[in-house]
Chains A and B, each alone.
Chain A
Amino acid sequence: MTRDNISVIRLKDILLVTVPPEPDDETVSAFQEKVLDVMASNEPRGLVLDISTVQTLDSFFARTLMETVQMAALMGTPTVIAGMRPDVAITATLLGLSFGRTLTARNMDSAFDLIIEKAAEDLSI
């Protein structure tokens, strides 16, 4: 699994990246690089990280996701983590993972709504 296998879709000026389900560390790093690269070349108004296929979110993987969200924020792009499975949410909470102020959504629809709302807020300030 390399960065070529990581799916990136551009929809309504928002980038939708599917996080690979059982990535090894190399794929996790490739994922992060790819996200930042496509952001630089696309200048989207938002980024959605779809984690609906992720079955195991350990602290290493979670840290990389959080780092990616922070890097995207530094590049001026709001990010929403979308589609966390109930099992994974239970496990992440017990494990003690903290997602801070990261925007999260149940599905892609709500994720897109959140980004559009966020963009509208930023314009009105």
Chain B
Amino acid sequence: MTLRLNEDFPVNEEGDIVMARRLVREFALQRGFGSTDITRIVTAASELIRNIYVYAGKGFMRVSFNEEVVRVGITLTFSDQGPGIPDIAKAMEPGYSTGRSMGMGLSGSKRLMDELTIRSEVGKGTTVIIVKWLSK
């Protein structure tokens, strides 16, 4: 399985979580991140892909690279057309979960990454974008 940058990787079944993790690991390595950052990025991705699978059933992940003068980065986008998040502030609280989980996914991913943005509309779906930067 290969995935190109800016291409959608569909998440339809539980097995896709492991595959998506593997792809994110490869991209992060290619981008030049060290092993601790790679572990952080892959773990955050794992949480967010699981959220898609658990709450929306299916969705997709996209990987892109950022280029700036003094730094480069990796951006991961997780999108679904699931039920949406009614209260984003609440969903960001550690330990808050509407599913059968520890409720660490969103708050934890934010701490593991440099940036985390959520757009969500009830009944329409959710998009979570995470970014990790690396100094040139």
Question: Is B3 part of the binding interface, using a Cβ–Cβ cutoff of 8 Å?
Answer: no
Residues of B within 8 A of A95 (CB): 43, 47, 104, 108-109, 111-112
What DSSP secondary structure best describes chain A's contact surface? helix
Q: Are A87 and B112 in contact (CB under 8 A)?
A: no
Residue from A24, A26, A59, A62 with most neighbouring chain B CB atoms (10 Å): A59
How many B residues are at the interface, by size bracket? 20 to 34
Q: Which residue of B lies closest to A85 (CB)?
A: B39
Residues in chain A near residue B38, CB distance under 8 A: 87
Query: Nearest Cβ distance between residue B133 and chain A, in whole angstroms?
Result: 16
Contact A94 B101 (CB under 8 A): no
Proximity string of chain A (81-106) to chain B, C-beta cutoff 8 Å, 1 when within and 0 when not: 00000111011001111000000000
Residues of B within 8 A of A94 (CB): 40, 108, 111-112
Q: List 29 A-B contacts (CB under 8 A).
A: A23-B18, A25-B14, A55-B25, A56-B46, A58-B43, A59-B101, A59-B102, A59-B105, A59-B108, A60-B101, A62-B102, A63-B102, A87-B35, A87-B36, A87-B38, A88-B39, A90-B39, A91-B36, A91-B39, A94-B40, A94-B111, A95-B43, A95-B47, A95-B104, A95-B112, A96-B95, A96-B108, A96-B111, A97-B102
User: Contact residues of B with A, CB < 8 Å?
Assistant: 14-15, 17-18, 21-22, 25, 35-36, 38-40, 42-43, 46-47, 50, 94-95, 101-102, 104-105, 107-109, 111-112
Q: Which residues of A contact B (CB under 8 A)?
A: 22-26, 55-60, 62-63, 86-88, 90-91, 94-97
